[in-house]
Amino acid sequence: MANSTTPLVVVTQIRPITVVFSVAEDYLPQIQKQLRLGHRMTVDALDRAQETKIAAGSLLTLDNQIDTGTGTVKLKAIFPNQDDSLFPNQFVNAKLLVDTHRDAILIPASAIQRNAQGAFVYVVSPDQTLALRNIKAAPWITT
């Protein structure tokens, strides 16, 4: 029928395949900075439990508006999907690598304390005494 709205066929591309995901708008400046610099940002697709990496891809584009209801912005990543590990409408968790910090010491966030001078940690010295050490805490993004 000429007036029918029922499609005869739906075409879905799986090689390459794209994944759409959202991040908090607070991270938009950091992502935009990397895009302006022309840096390729890696995106990993993880299973529901975020334990198993299903596929690796890269950030393709980001939406041109923020969802005011959720305070998020949508991003789109592209995956080669040569092994067909991703399937259309499959649920995955996306992990976006925005930046890499070199020569950084990683400590649990719970170890970082704050006072009027800024962030600090307690360090145990070889003689088993504690010393207060001021630190520069870098931002950490988890979603």
As given in the structure block, the two tokens for residue 92 are 């995955």
Please determine, for residue 3, whether its predicted confidence score (pLDDT) is greater than 80. Answer: no
Tokens standing for residue 79 = 């995956």
Q: Give the predicted TM-score (pTM) of the model.
A: 0.73
Indicate whether 79 and 29 sit together in one domain.
yes
Domain count, the chain: 2
Closest to 113 measured CA to CA, from 139, 138, 133? 133
Instruction: State which residues form the domain around 114.
Output: 103-136
Q: State the Cα–Cα distance between residues 143 and 137, nearest whole angstrom.
A: 19
Residues 39-97 have pLDDT tens digits of 999 999 999 999 999 999 999 999 999 999 999 999 999 999 999 999 999 999 999 99
Question: pLDDT tier at 136 (50, 70, 90 boundaries)?
Answer: confident
In degrees rounded to 5, what are phi and psi of residue 139?
-70, 150
Could you give the CA distance from residue 70 to residue 72 in angstroms, rounded to a whole number? 5
Q: Give me the mean pLDDT over the 96-124 stretch.
A: 90
Residue 82 and residue 21 share a domain? yes
Return the pLDDT at 140. 61
Residue 8 placed within a domain: no
